[in-house]
Each structure stands twice: as C-alpha cells, then as structure tokens.
C-alpha cells in the first residue's frame, strides 16, 4: 500500500454540493478509480480518521506525490 500526500485543498463534489476540504498535512492511500471523473482517484486518510466530517475524497491522480 503506497502512501501519498496531495497538493489539493479541495476534492471533487459528485452531487453539486460544496467541495470537501482535505488536510494537506495528512497522508492518504488510493482505494479506487473514480467512475465519474476518469482522471481522478478515490482516496482516504492513512490513519482512517475523518476530516471535517469526510472520510473519502476524489482528487486528480496527478495531484498526489
């Protein structure tokens, strides 16, 4: 399981709601490929904690390092 950090401050929203914020200091793991945004992946925090009520985020794959 690879660990990543992200350059994104916000993830993609699916239903038009406010985009979810990300903790840029946390480490993340990829858990899947997005079906809605083909250039994006679904990530979760490595420690499994929620951040501002969110547990999963959709971000562009090229924003991970």
Distance in angstroms (rounded) separating the CA atoms of residues 2 and 28: 8
pLDDT tens for 19-41 read 999 999 999 999 999 998 999 99
pTM over the 0.75 mark: yes
**CATH code of domain 1-65:** 2.30.30
Write the DSSP symbol of residue 50. -
* Vertex 35 angle, CA 55 and 20, to 5°: 30
Using 50, 70 and 90 to split pLDDT, how confident is the model at 9?
A: very high
Q: What is the pLDDT of residue 14?
A: 84
Average pLDDT of the residues in 2-27? 94
- Which sequence spans correspond to the domains of the chain? 1-65
């Amino acid at each position: 399981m690879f660990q990543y950090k992200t350059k994104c401050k916000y993830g993609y929203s699916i239903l038009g709601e406010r985009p979810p914020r990300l903790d840029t200091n946390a480490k993340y793991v990829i858990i899947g490929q997005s079906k809605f945004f083909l250039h994006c992946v679904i990530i979760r925090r490595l420690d499994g904690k929620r951040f501002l009520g969110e547990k999963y985020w959709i971000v562009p794959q090229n924003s991970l390092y």
